[in-house]
Amino acid sequence: MEREHRAFLEDLLSTASPSGYEVPGQRVWAEYVEDLADEVRVDEYGNAVAVHEGSDDVDTSVAFAGHGDEIGFIVREVTDDGFLTIGRVGGSDKTVTQGQHVTVHTDDGPVEGVVGQTAIHLRDRDDDSAPDISELCVDVGVEDGETAEELVEVGDPVTFAQRVRELEDGRLTARGMDNRVGIWAAAEGLRRAVEAGADATVYAVSTVQEEVGLQGAEMVGFDLDPDAVIACDVTHATDSPGVPGKKSTGVELGEGPVVARGSANHPALVEAVRGVAEEADIAVQLQATGSRTGTDADAFYTARGGTPALNLGLPNRYMHTPVEVIDAADLDAMADLLGAVGAAADSHAPFGVDI
């Protein structure tokens, strides 16, 4: 991964964007893609779309879409003694929330805090259960509620305070890989499609509010109306200890991006992407999604009466924790594959089934 592209990824990962509060992250993404696209537009909720117009005589369009939001928390109440009670934003995991450094993102700037946990010496040794997030409190270090209310307001978003760290063999760990890697890949896929001289119209999209119900994709899917859309998201790498056998998918870090099959994933688009991958010598893994993908693909494929869609996943360990782990080589391969798909889109269109 080139230095400029790695810096973009780190900028995305270090910019907090919980669902409903995506503006800072969307701004980072939109500013980056301005140099890659003929046009960048943003709707009223912050969904951002970068457009490569392609050739006038080619009437094919393909979209690469990731979601720019992340899970997190929200301030529910400021207590009289200066602590903050919190609620979930998206699928936050109560088992990894206690004892963490967090940042409250206020209109006046960040306020640092910790999610308190009673010391092991004082707890009931026979009770190892994790309290609900609604039972937890953030300690920002003040002595009373009046002082706390000068710093934060009800409704301020909260995220884990983590930085990007490099592990061995090109692995990266951070909070919010889900799904900054997807919007990074969408942007870099656009870059690579343009550099390859794509004749089709290519859209790169960063949606909002996926983690709370695929809301941004529903907005964009109706408005954009592409011939095909590839939802770029993470998927579970099940190659680490502790994953129950019945939950294993066979997906591994370092073995390439993951093409989903079944449910929302249009068979003609699946075939096209797998063919492009083989031609470009890009290794891909397969994953079965019999009922739903759990990604923006589930919203895109029913838009406008039906839009051929595909979920392209990046293997990710420890999803929805502060220590998500991905392989940078998988991410580069994902962007390469998207670029190749964009460059070849007009030769594979239309994407309808043959009956």
Q: Are β-strands 109-115 and 101-106 bridged in parallel, bridged antiparallel, or unpaired?
A: antiparallel
Averaged over 312-340, what is the pLDDT? 98
CATH number at residue 116: 2.40.30.40
Residues 181-190: tens digit of each pLDDT? 999 999 999 9
Of the candidates 126, 160, 194, which is a domain's last residue? Answer: 160
- Alpha-helix runs per DSSP H in the chain: 3-13, 23-33, 145-151, 177-195, 215-224, 267-279, 297-300, 328-348
Give me the number of domains the chain comprises.
Answer: 2
pLDDT bucket at 124, cuts 50 / 70 / 90: confident
Q: Is pLDDT larger for residue 61 or for residue 126?
A: 61
Q: What is the percent of the chain with per-residue pLDDT over 70, rounded to a whole number?
A: 100
Task: Based on the fold, state whether residues 193 and 301 are members of the same structural domain.
Answer: yes
The answer to the question of whether 67 is labelled as a binding residue is: yes
Catalytic residue among 210, 218, 255, 324: 210
Model pLDDT, residue 148: 98
Strands in 258-261's sheet, in edge-to-edge order, are 39-42, 48-52, 201-207, 61-67, 228-236, 309-316, 258-261, 285-288
**What is the overall mean pLDDT for the chain?**
96
Mean pLDDT value across residues 112-129: 89
Reported as a pLDDT band with limits 50, 70 and 90, residue 321 is very high
Do both 196 and 102 map to the same domain? no
Crossing angle (nearest 10°) for helices 177-195 and 328-348: 50
Residue 188 in marked binding region: no
Catalytic (active site) residue 210: yes
Residue 302 DSSP code:
T
Measured in residues, the chain has a length of: 355
Whose structure tokens read 């392209």? Answer: 312
Condensed to tens digits (0 to 9), the pLDDT of residues 148-167 reads 999 999 999 999 998 899 99
pLDDT of residue 128: 81
Q: Are residues 211 and 323 in the same domain?
A: yes
Question: How do residues 57-66 score in pLDDT, each as one tens digit?
Answer: 999 999 999 9
Q: Are residues 229 and 275 in the same domain?
A: yes
pLDDT higher than threshold 90 for residue 127: no
**Residue range 205-233: mean pLDDT, rounded:** 96
Q: pLDDT class for 246, splitting at 50, 70, 90?
A: confident
Is 80 labeled as ligand-binding?
A: no
Are 155 and 250 part of one and the same domain? no
Shared domain check, 245 and 138: no
Question: Residue 160 gets which letter from DSSP?
Answer: E
Instruction: Examine the domain organization and report whether 65 and 81 are in the same domain.
Output: no
**Average pLDDT for 235-254:** 93
List the domain range (segments joined by +) for residue 188: 3-70+175-348
Q: Tokens 């900028």 label which residue?
A: 11
pLDDT digits (tens, 9 = 90+) for 13-31: 999 999 999 999 999 999 9
Query: 197 φ, ψ to 5°?
Result: 75, 40
Say if residue 107 is in the same domain as residue 229: no
Residue bearing the bigger pLDDT, 139 or 127: 139
Same domain? For 24 and 129 the reply is no
List of E strands, 79-209: 83-89, 101-106, 109-115, 137-139, 157-160, 165-166, 171-174, 201-207
**Residue 70 in marked binding region:** no
Query: Is 296 among the annotated ligand-binding positions?
Result: no
Buried b (16+ CB within 10 A) or exposed e, 57-82: eeebbbbbbbbbbbbbbbbeebeeeb
Whether residues 91 and 184 share a domain: the answer is no
Question: Beta partners for 201?
Answer: 61
Q: What is the CATH number of the domain that holds 239?
A: 3.40.630.10
Q: Which of 132, 160, 188 is the last residue of a domain?
A: 160
138 & 193 share domain: no
- The pTM score is 0.96
